[in-house]
Amino acid sequence: MNKRELIGRIAAQTGYPLIEVEKVVDHVVKVTIETLYEGRDVVITGFGKFEMRKRQARRGVNPRTNEPILIPESEYIAFRQSNTMREKIRNR
């Protein structure tokens, strides 16, 4: 499902106009990104938790030259599903 399909499905189930649902979805995404950027987690009860994690710097190998390289520390967004979501998916 892509963003457009998500918006259409929410609009169909709620009866709200597409344009209003699109605004809300856009704001949810924007606020989620801003909150993660601030270093805070985003927890949506019944859905899951978005959080920033760090990968430690590590040694790697350049596949073209087989030379050792240092891969720098980096941050990434991790998602952990809620128990509610986990159970619904297991029991589908």
Using CB atoms within 10 Å of the CB of residue 7, give its burial: 0 to 12 exposed, 13 to 18 middle, 19+ buried.
Answer: buried
Helix (H, G, I), strand (E, B) or coil at 3: helix
Mean pLDDT for back-to-back runs of 10 residues, the chain (92 residues)? 97 97 97 96 96 96 95 96 93 86
pLDDT for residue 53: 96
pLDDT for residue 92: 83
Instruction: Look up the domain containing 32 and give its range.
Output: 1-40
Same domain? 10 vs 30: yes
Domain with residue 56: its CATH number is 4.10.520.10
Same domain? 27 vs 57: no
> Per the confidence metrics, is the pTM higher than 0.85?
no
